[in-house]
Structure 1
């Protein structure tokens, strides 16, 4: 279901699945297909089944109506442009990734502590994170 490789644009299914993984209930649990379908049916007055939501998420169904995408956007509280505009959609995807990362207590703690650092201090922390990420990537994928 992912895009066709590095640098390839996200598919509609990728974007919808990202919403399900990132925009969670207040308790931290993901929304289910039926719950989303019901809300979208109520918003549009049109047919919108859990199976249809699953098909959109997995890429087995494409080309949904504009009203269906608007209903999904409304449910997940993102602008409809998330689905339509490549540049803005990419920016929103980055923001969603950040929100997803901030759900992790360790990441959130580091981010909150970094708020009081100077720009130079933030640069040092950023350099350290990059170095550790490279080292861990090498350890996961030795040549």
Structure 2
């Protein structure tokens, strides 16, 4: 039984973490419960697990604010207050951050800074051609919503 909140939390857990392994419920609960940075919220590993598996669907606004702050997303994303377009933009930003974990992707992006727009457009076309030759979707988000670092 999944809820929109559970889906969003699981999306963030799967994508918003430092290079390496995703965060655990225990780590996130401990960090949030550690002090005033997250509004003096106390969160247990078990409660967070229940939020992620949909057994609890109505956490307090303070818990939602703390989770949003931890994952650096707008609280409205977790509350379900954003329009579908706004939520999609949040997820697009998450995919961008995930892609930027890859040093080679960062290098390509940074090397294009300052180039004239028509040159950047040409580079985009070339990358698209490579993706097509490798039978990859034209847009990485078309590959199931998650960009692999």
Q: TM exceeds 0.5?
A: yes
Q: Is the 8 A contact 2:41 2:66 kept in 1?
A: no
Alpha-carbon distance in 1 for matches of 2:114, 2:92? 24
- Residue 62 of structure 2 is matched in structure 1 by 67
RMSD: 2.9
- Residue 104 of structure 1 is matched in structure 2 by 102
Q: 1:115 to 1:46 in 2, by over 3 A?
A: closer
Q: 1:17 to 1:124 in 2, by over 3 A?
A: same
Are 2:2 and 1:38 aligned? Answer: no
Q: Kindly indicate which of the two structures has a greater share of residues assigned to helix.
A: 1
- Residue 81 of structure 1 is matched in structure 2 by 76
Q: 1:104-123 to 2 correspondence within 5 Å?
A: 104-123=102-121
How does the TM-score come out when normalised to structure 1? 0.71
**Which consecutive residues of structure 1, in runs of 5 or more, have no partner in the other structure?**
3-9, 139-143
Q: Shift of the alpha carbon at 1:91?
A: 1.1
- Residue 19 of structure 1 is matched in structure 2 by 12
**Which consecutive residues of structure 2, in runs of 5 or more, have no partner in the other structure?**
137-149
Q: 1:45 to 1:102 in 2, by over 3 A?
A: closer
Corresponding residue SS for 1:137: coil
- Residue 140 of structure 2 is matched in structure 1 by none
- Residue 141 of structure 1 is matched in structure 2 by none
Alpha-carbon distance in 1 for matches of 2:41, 2:92? 31
Per-residue CA deviation, residues 1-44 of structure 1 (Å, 9 max, x unaligned), is 99xxxxxxx9323322232233334x755332112112334546
